[in-house]
Amino acid sequence: MSTKLRIGNLPLTATEDDLSNKFKTFGVVESVQILRDERTGNSRGLGLVCMASDTAANAAINRLNFTQFGDRTMSVSAALSAA
The domain limits of the chain are: 3-78
Question: Long-range contacts of range 33-42, CB-CB < 8 Å, 24 or more positions apart?
Answer: 34/10, 42/12
Give mean pLDDT, residues 54-60. Answer: 97
Topology at the third CATH level for domain 3-78: Alpha-Beta Plaits (3.30.70)
> What's the whole-number average pLDDT of the chain?
95
Helix, strand or coil for residue 83?
A: coil
Enter the DSSP assignment of 70.
T
Structure confidence at residue 82 (pLDDT): 53
Q: What is the pTM of this model?
A: 0.93
